[in-house]
Amino acid sequence: MQTINEYMAADHARCDQLYADGEAELLSGSFENGREKMLAFEAGMRRHFEMEEAILFPAFEEATGMTQGPTMVMRAEHVQMNGVLAQIKESLEIDDPDTTLGAGETLLMLIQQHNMKEEGMLYPMVDQQLTAQVPDLIQKMDAIE
Amino acid sequence: MRSSGLSLDQAPPEDIPFRFFLTAPVFGLLAGSLILYRGVIVFSSSWHFETIALTHLITLGWIMMIMMGAFYQLVPVLAGGQVPWIALSRAVHFFMIIGILALAGGLIQISQLLFPVAISALLLAFTVFLTQLLTALFRVKANRPVVVAMRISLISLALAVSLGVLEIGAITGLWPPLIERSIVKNLHVTLALSGGIGGLIVGVGFHVIPMFYLSSPFPEKRAVWILRAGMFSLAAVSVMLLNSAGSALLFTAMLPGVTASIIFTLTVWQMLLKRKRKVVDATLRFWQIGLLAFPLSLLCLAAHLFWPDERLTFAFGLLFLMGFAATITNGMLYKIVPFLIWFHRFSTLVGKVKVPLLKDILPAKRTSGQLLQAALAMLTLLPGALLQIDWLVRAGAIFWLISSGWLFLNLIFAFRQKPVTND
């Protein structure tokens, strides 16, 4: 049976790959392809946040009664990441690849330390506390467009 | 996993890691000045007091300063443990500075009275630091490789510091020598370098390479094997040294650890080559230089067992300390410092006002220039020490001074970035 940690870590890796692809295109000067891939990355990130904020976090909070704990910190970091994602999107609209790459580098650091905390602590806690619900949670998250 | 990881927002106040990070290049400047002033003499005997002073300006002043700042910063993120009594870290930093200056001052024979000061200050600093970090790391229930590596590093450091203190007390007549000096020295160096410094860099390397360069993860089983082999060798070499074992036995005891180090190096090199991100920055080059210097330093160490020429000791010292440890910690500062500035000062302003990006906090051209100086320092000091050429050693000292000064200015540049207030 797939664990939440495995499922979510795979989605982190998928988003990382989308970013790396976009970054490589922009670095090679291929702006149109870069924009397309960066937008796919942006969509992937927003979907990942939704999976967590609409399904995973509420389930964890309900099961543990902890609403002021780790999920609160993770939500706050999502707000910060969304802010930089908006900057990336804006720079793509005005054809400013330097800003896209700079904001991307900044976002990536934010994402990586965030993912480290989720994969190292939060997801294992979810797997432990909500073991019986894991297949159902994965199914619900899969259904998100 | 229990409640140890409940709070995910445990980053220390920004001044704590920064005070350690900013101090490192200042000791780099002192080390460079000593080499420039004394020239090739500092590479004449590893028993030479000025050489010991130089070594400690680099190991304690540069490497340990960055390691301490990194421990305080990374333990909450990588290991999920809260570092207790965090405000005391400022005192740790203060007593480290006093202790290192007193130790170096005593060794270059300013005054014998500085040795008791060095012993007290360093013991105090390390006792507080090790108590804080060991408490944090043994509270963490997870036994991820990085946690194990950090524990190995801290325990090795505790032993290395104890031996160091024993040695200073013995040479200054504060107490009689308990063990033969050469045994203490070899044990001290083995524990401090392979366990203390190597342990932390390897452990952190497992995680930061995938994080920063989007490589595949370090294979967990291999990481566990590397740590076990490293621990085995550390213990075996220590026992051999205590029993004054011969070269062949020492080499056999070293072999698993050396093999593990080479496997670590090859794995990380491969991960970097196959990284998802194609971007090349100075930090990547710092890692690559460090990864080249690491196996070369081990080669010199192994060769020294069978061919006891002091020049091999200096080649090992330069390659391991400057080429590997100082280089990798230097590179990591360039990843961590701009991010911490951004995180502490600007992250809450995102979307409200225009905030600088990491590339604005520390522009790439500043870091690549320093990288070149650091590389030139290595490329001149190494042949200078090996071939005992005074002018080459002094030229290396100048490159090293420029590199340290440049790093310091870069860190100050980043540190000065603050949100603009309109009132």
Per-residue model confidence as pLDDT tens for chain A (145 residues): 899 999 999 999 999 999 999 999 999 999 999 999 999 999 999 999 999 999 999 999 999 998 888 899 899 999 999 999 999 999 999 989 999 999 999 999 999 989 988 988 899 999 999 999 999 999 999 999 8
Task: Please answer whether residues B124 and B95 qualify as being in contact, where contact means their C-beta atoms are separated by less than 8 angstroms.
Answer: yes
Contacts of A25 in chain B (CB under 8 A): none
The verdict on residue A94 lying in a domain is yes
| Residue % of chain B over a pLDDT of 90 | 84
Per-residue pLDDT at A31: 92
CATH of the domain at A60: 1.20.120
Contacts of A79 in chain B (CB under 8 A): 351
The answer to whether B80 contacts A117, with C-beta atoms less than 8 Å apart, is yes
Task: Please answer whether residues B57 and B31 qualify as being in contact, where contact means their C-beta atoms are separated by less than 8 angstroms.
Answer: yes
The verdict on residue A23 lying in a domain is yes
Per-residue pLDDT at B9: 57
Nearest-Cα residue of chain B relative to residue A87: B351
Per-residue pLDDT at B422: 59
Taking chain B (423 residues) in consecutive chunks of 10 residues, what is each chunk's mean pLDDT? 42 93 98 97 94 98 97 85 92 98 95 94 98 92 87 97 94 87 94 96 94 92 97 97 94 96 98 92 96 96 92 96 97 94 90 88 95 97 97 98 98 94 60
The verdict on residue B182 lying in a domain is yes
The answer to whether B8 contacts A74, with C-beta atoms less than 8 Å apart, is yes
The verdict on residue B2 lying in a domain is no
Per-residue pLDDT at B81: 75
Q: How far is A18 from chain B (nearest CA, A)?
A: 10
Taking every pair of C-alpha atoms in chain A, what is the biggest distance, in angstroms? 50
Give residue ranges of B with CB < 8 Å to any A CB.
Answer: 1, 5-9, 77-80, 142, 144, 207, 211-212, 214, 276-279, 335, 339, 342-343, 347-348, 350-351, 357-360
The answer to whether A121 contacts B5, with C-beta atoms less than 8 Å apart, is yes
The verdict on residue A42 lying in a domain is yes
The verdict on residue B7 lying in a domain is no
The answer to whether A120 contacts B144, with C-beta atoms less than 8 Å apart, is yes
Q: How far is A102 from chain B (nearest CA, A)?
A: 6
The answer to whether A69 contacts B6, with C-beta atoms less than 8 Å apart, is yes
Model pTM score: 0.92
The verdict on residue A143 lying in a domain is no
Q: How many domains does chain B have?
A: 1
The verdict on residue A40 lying in a domain is yes
Q: How does DSSP classify residue B110?
A: S
The answer to whether B7 contacts A70, with C-beta atoms less than 8 Å apart, is yes
The verdict on residue B9 lying in a domain is no
Q: How many domains does chain A have?
A: 1
Contacts of A117 in chain B (CB under 8 A): 8, 77, 80
The secondary structure of B280-319 as a DSSP string is --HHHHHHHHHHHHHHHHHHHHHHHHHS--HHHHHHHHII
Residues forming a β-bridge with B353:
B350
The verdict on residue A104 lying in a domain is yes
The verdict on residue A45 lying in a domain is yes
Give the best residue of A3, A26, A71, A109 to mutate against chain B (max B CB count within 10 A). A109
Chain A with chain B: Cβ pairs closer than 8 A = 92
Contacts of A70 in chain B (CB under 8 A): 5-8
Q: How far is A99 from chain B (nearest CA, A)?
A: 8
Give the best residue of A106, A108, A114, A125 to mutate against chain B (max B CB count within 10 A). A106
Residues forming a β-bridge with B350:
B353
The answer to whether B1 contacts A86, with C-beta atoms less than 8 Å apart, is no
Interatomic CA distance for residues B338 and A133, integer angstroms: 41
Residue span of the structural domain in which A59 resides: 4-138
Task: Please answer whether residues A9 and A123 qualify as being in contact, where contact means their C-beta atoms are separated by less than 8 angstroms.
Answer: yes
Residue span of the structural domain in which B338 resides: 14-415
Nearest to A121 among B80, B278, B358 (CB): B80
Taking every pair of C-alpha atoms in chain B, what is the biggest distance, in angstroms? 72
Nearest-Cα residue of chain A relative to residue B364: A102
B188 to A24, B23, B160, B234, B283: CA distances (angstroms): 46, 24, 5, 11, 30
Nearest to B357 among A76, A103, A113 (CB): A103
Phi, psi (degrees; rounded to nearest 5) at B102 = -65, -40
B77 to A22, A117, B54: CA distances (angstroms): 27, 6, 33
The SS3 call for residue B353 is strand
Nearest to B211 among A27, A84, A112 (CB): A112
CATH of the domain at B118: 1.20.210.10
Interatomic CA distance for residues B189 and B101, integer angstroms: 20
Nearest-Cα residue of chain A relative to residue B217: A13
Contacts of A116 in chain B (CB under 8 A): 77-78, 207, 211
Tens digits of residue pLDDT in B244-259: 999 999 999 999 999 9
When the pLDDT of each residue in chain A is averaged and rounded to a whole number, the result is 93
The answer to whether B350 contacts A109, with C-beta atoms less than 8 Å apart, is no
- Cα dihedral B398, B402, B408, B410, rounded to 10, equals -170
Per-residue pLDDT at B60: 98
